[in-house]
């Protein structure tokens, strides 16, 4: 079963969320959360940090991700792991 992750990143005040603009089809030009595929044998949390850094340059040192929930789509033979974290801009601290 293929795994995917979805990462919700909040700002310090938790009143805004990070959204990314899709550069490729499907849905090119629309906004979505950070996320991607979990590679075969890869730990879900490791995959979430990897995708977050690949897509935004936010690293483990910038944010602590917490596993929130999973969704399993049996008909599509896949699952989605949802992670959440609060980005703290160290330049402001």
Give me the pLDDT at residue 10, please: 96
All structural domains of the chain, each given as residue ranges with its CATH number in brackets, are 2-86 (3.90.79.10)
Q: pLDDT by residue (tens digit) across 2-42?
A: 999 999 999 999 999 999 999 989 999 999 999 999 999 99
35-61 pLDDT, tens digit each: 999 999 999 999 999 999 999 999 999
Supply the pLDDT for residue 92: 52
DSSP readout, 6-70?
EEEEE-TTSS-B--EE--SSSSTT-EE-EEEEEPTT--HHHHHHHHHHHHH---TTT---EEEEE
- Residue 93's pLDDT band, with cuts at 50, 70 and 90, is very low
In this predicted structure, the answer to whether residue 90 has a pLDDT above a threshold of 80 is: no
């Amino acid at each position: 079963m293929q795994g995917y992750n979805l990462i919700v990143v909040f700002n310090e005040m938790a009143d805004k969320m990070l959204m990314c603009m899709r550069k490729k089809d499907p849905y090119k030009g629309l906004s979505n959360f950070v996320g991607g595929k979990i590679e075969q044998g890869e730990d879900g949390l490791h995959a979430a940090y990897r995708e977050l850094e690949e897509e935004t340059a936010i690293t483990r040192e910038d944010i602590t991700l917490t596993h929130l929930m999973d969704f399993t789509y049996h008909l599509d033979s896949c699952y989605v792991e949802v992670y959440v974290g609060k980005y703290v801009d160290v330049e402001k601290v």
